Amino acid sequence: MVATEEEVGQLISNFGISISDILENDANQPTNCQLLTGNCQLLISGVGMVATAFALGKHLTLNSYDLVVNLGIAGSFDRDIALGDVLEITEDTFAELGAEDDNEFLSIEKMGFGEGLFYPSTKLSNLYNLFNTFNLKTAKAITVNTVHGNEASIKKVTERLNPQLESMEGAAFFYACREMNVPCIQIRAVSNYVEKRNRDNWNIGLAIKNLNTFAAEFLKLYA
């Protein structure tokens, strides 16, 4: 599962998915394409946690899988992570789910209305011994509706949650998979650092290239 076709363009090309089939669909609707390797499918959910949860929940109602993988790019709070690095997410939090009590943020857990922290149901090293050769770094992430680009808000969320990465889909992906009882992992490639918004510092091309390289090798081994 991926939010946008652009994030897996090379994978689509490598495994023979028709680009026209994707572009003919409404951009806000999930696209279900059969990969020409094993019994695998690609779901394009659309951007954001709402689109992700809806598309994946709807799809998993009608389809059964041994594993669901969320691929995508992400921003990094952690400067020890290089642009282009591909990482396995070990936990993900809905960063904005809760309430403000003046200067204090009350998480959904503190409010007693649910939970905002989610985990993958498995990890790469558990899937197959050969996957140890990927040697991916791991990271904890947050999922946001508004990508951070303001120094004050970055400072607040860093102090509160100490995240390494942020995306707009990850925790929703984990939530949907848990609710549908489907094994899942999340893989992210870093396209930019989380800082005052400056597109000149981004390297989306490198992140997408490395993400697709990983995904192609993963499918060859697992599919």
Of 163, 199, 10, which is closest to residue 91 (Cα–Cα)?
Answer: 163
Tens of pLDDT, residues 7-30: 998 888 877 654 444 434 444 444
- One-letter amino acid at 118 equals F
pLDDT of residue 30: 46
Q: What is the mean pLDDT of each run of 10 residues along the chain (223 residues)?
A: 91 65 44 56 91 93 91 97 97 93 89 93 78 81 94 94 97 96 96 93 96 89 70
Q: What is the DSSP string of 144-198?
A: -SS----HHHHHHHHHHH--SEEESSHHHHHHHHHHTT--EEEEEEEEEESSS--
Of 184, 136, 182, 188, which is closest to residue 163 (Cα–Cα)?
Answer: 188
Of 173, 187, 172, 169, which is closest to residue 48 (Cα–Cα)?
Answer: 169
CA distance 23 to 2: 15
